[in-house]
A = this chain, B = another copy of it.
Amino acid sequence: MNAGTDGATSSPLDEAALASADLATLRERIDGIDRHIQQLISERAQYAAHVGRAKGPLAAAVDYYRPERESQVLRRVVDRNDGPLGDDVLVRLFREIMSACLAQQEPLKIGFLGPEGTHSQQAVFRHFGHSVHGLPLASIEEVFQEVASRSADFGIVPVENSTQGTIQSTLDMFLTSPLKICGEVELRIHQHLLSRSGRIEDIERVYSHPQSFAQCKAWLREHLPRAEAVPVSSNAEAARRARNADDAAAIAGESAGTVYGLKRVAGPIEDRPDNTTRFLVLGRELFPSSGHDRTSLLVFVNDQPGALHHVLAPFARHGLSMSRIESRPGHTGRWQYAFFIDIAGHVDEPAMRAALDELAPYAREVKVLGSYPVAIA
């Protein structure tokens, strides 16, 4: 009998017995659990290797990495979690386990936007785990190039920030690129109050970007009503200035504080916890449905009355909800427009196919940029 197939029968812990257990007993139990976890992880790695071998003797990780499958696994982890660890913690542990199992032959190579962006790098680890090779690149364009030329297996690029809006240079790359979107990552970004001393009583001046001030207004009014708010061009600039004064603080992300050697006075201090950056995972092919997918389309239309209506109506008719639309001037003709549209569902699903068929006569071109699992946790 394999250890992996008999696990669902265990009963809940006996709380009363536990409360009276001594340290040695608790540790003995934990040791038994660890032995068992290790056995299961090793067994999982063997099965994963067999999945790889089924793809042929020369298969690399990229040949059997399946984002829709990983997404399903993680969704099940969240569905059956009833504590005590948080969903995010368990998702992270399972990402690492899958990442390690996948990397047995050669790890995935992931290109990402290097500068300023510890956030892009964070997104790489968040999505792929730590058993990958990260390739830091100098521009979003280079990330596309390296994936297209197969120097990288996948790429990660930022596409949208809930405070700054869409990152146009990313969207524009899709106008001409043959790459496909095969995943998304959402990174919640927290604001912290950072200073050299770490003591709130020293603070007479706070530097930050105006948007960050706006996000932390209530907190500042309550905790630092008399401090002067000095708007600067970026939160990194705020952190840089705060580094040079004893009586100043910055509102910035943790990574800015890390780079400039500041201490956290308080945080997270944003009034609403919805500050998120969205990243896209770039690959070279479309993957099957995970069951919880999003489809990104690029629709080129001529600039004529009713064009937008004709593009959108089919999705409404088929009950497909749109999470985002953005118009961009197309590059191929003076009077053309391009719409970037995100729709719930996968292109393989009948409703989506039907909507796309109905839309076709009204568009000069419809490009499916990708159908990919919705971000988890």
Contacts and interface: CB of A to CB of B under 8 A. Distances in A.
A260 B4 contact: no
Interface string A34-46: 1111111111111
A44 B50 contact: no
Interface in A140-162: 151
A175 to B, nearest CB: 24
Interface of chain A, main secondary structure: helix
Contact of A37 (B97, B257, B264): B97
Given A34-B73, A50-B19, A85-B41, A259 B2 contact: no
Given A115-B243, A258-B114, A50 B36 contact: no
A76 B77 CA distance: 27
A114 B10 contact: no
B89 A34 contact: no
Contact of A115 (B73, B136, B261): B261
A50 to B, nearest CB: 5
Given A44-B33, A46-B13, A51 B38 contact: no
B115 A77 contact: no
A344 interface: no
A200 interface: no
Contacts of A241: none
Copies of this chain per assembly: 2
Interface string A331-365: 00000000000000000000000000000000000
Interface size class of A (residues with CB under 8 A): 35 or more
Contact of A93 (B18, B96, B118): B96
14 contacts: A2-B13, A3-B9, A7-B32, A7-B39, A13-B46, A30-B73, A37-B40, A46-B84, A85-B104, A92-B100, A113-B261, A114-B258, A115-B243, A116-B118
Interface of A: 1-11, 13, 18-19, 21-23, 26-27, 29-51, 53-54, 69, 73, 76-77, 80-85, 89-90, 92-94, 96-97, 100-101, 103-104, 113-118, 121, 130-131, 134-138, 151, 196, 198, 240, 243, 255, 257-264
